[in-house]
Amino acid sequence: MVVKDCFSIEKSCRWSLVFVWGLFVAPGASLAQPQAAFDTFMVIDRGTALIGADGIEIVRLSKTAHATGALSPDGQWVVFVDSSSIDTGETLASRVVIQSRRNPVDQISVPMIWGRSGSSFQAMWAPNSQRVLICEQGRRNQGRTSAFRIYDLTTKSLVELECSLDQIPTEWSADGKRLLTSVDGRIAWVNMDGTGEPEFITSHFEAAFGAQLSPDGKRLLCMAGFRRPNEDRQPLRLSVVDMETKKRSFVDDPGEVQGYCWSPDGSRIAYTWQPTPEDSDETPFRETFLITCDVDGGHRKTVTSRKYDVSKVGLGRGETTIFFQVIAWR
């Protein structure tokens, strides 16, 4: 690990979650107190929000479409991106916000390296909920590139890391030394400092991405499907992969999944799913369901659903349209 820069971050009292495109609307005033374990979902729903086990919204963090964020393992902190009131005149600047759920005025603001349309953001918490790995992708003169920084809640410091990855990672190892990401369409562990070779988890016979590690570190939740020759798009399904035996099973029904996570104890899975319409060009509305189930897909329960008018969001009806996505379950 190479430290390139370290600086203190000023606290802010007025930031809320947004990503780098969409319509920007003033955020809500405060966050509700954390509920009991298993009672809170962090979701994307025309922005980002926390909802309860009954599907009712607890608090809206942002009203910006295509937002994202992360909930700490202990459920006490949220991290998100805010752009709502930082218009510089030419471009809309963005910053990462780390905010306490118990005390909403306890906020840390971290300026983003890229904060405009076309950039990507992902945040990952350390298991002790005291460090946040901030991952970004954007464009510089040499083309698309990545940046990785760690904010430490204990020392209140930000460290920029020298780390080269083509894809945004989805998991951070418990020892803080490795990242779980996709390499050539396969899920693999890579060293954060860029040394060594990828440790592949999935085989070259299948395409896989978006891996989420179970709390005990023994299983993966990911989108995966066997590779088929001469086909541009692989039929991917939400799958559970055993890290030791490499056995895998499908969790979802055939359809479209985007957004999934583990329950805090790893006994259940939450995912957002919608059926594939028979004639997408003639389907003006799409309904996406938040579903929980056992690891083998059994004992399914529909928590809630959201319906969208495809024509009003400006996308072609033939495209996959999922604006309701589950990010975390605490």
Q: Are 172 and 165 in contact (CB under 8 A)?
A: no
Instruction: Give the DSSP letter of residue 92.
Output: B
Q: Are 170 and 120 in contact (CB under 8 A)?
A: no
Give Dmax (Cα) for the chain.
55
Question: What average pLDDT does the structure give for the chain?
Answer: 79
Q: Which of 78, 79, 35, 37 is nearest to 57 (CA)?
A: 35
pTM value surpassing 0.75: yes
Query: What backbone phi and psi angles, to 5 degrees, belong to 228?
Result: -120, 130
Read off the tokens for 220.
């993966």
How far CA 75 is from CA of 38, 50, 52, 247, in Å, comes to 10, 11, 13, 31
pLDDT at 205: 87
pLDDT at 14: 30
Distance CA 207, CA 30 (A): 42
Q: Which of 146, 152, 149, 100 is nearest to 130 (CA)?
A: 152
Q: What are 23-68's pLDDT values in tens digits? A: 233 333 345 544 445 689 999 887 788 999 999 999 888 766 566 7
At residue 301, the 3 state secondary structure works out as strand
pLDDT at 80: 83
Residue segments in the chain with a per-residue pLDDT below the cut of 50: 1-30, 33-36, 86-91, 315-318
Listing DSSP states for 218-233 in one string gives SEEEEEEEE--TT-SS
Distance CA 176, CA 316 (A): 41
Distance CA 142, CA 51 (A): 41
Query: What backbone phi and psi angles, to 5 degrees, belong to 311?
Result: -65, -30
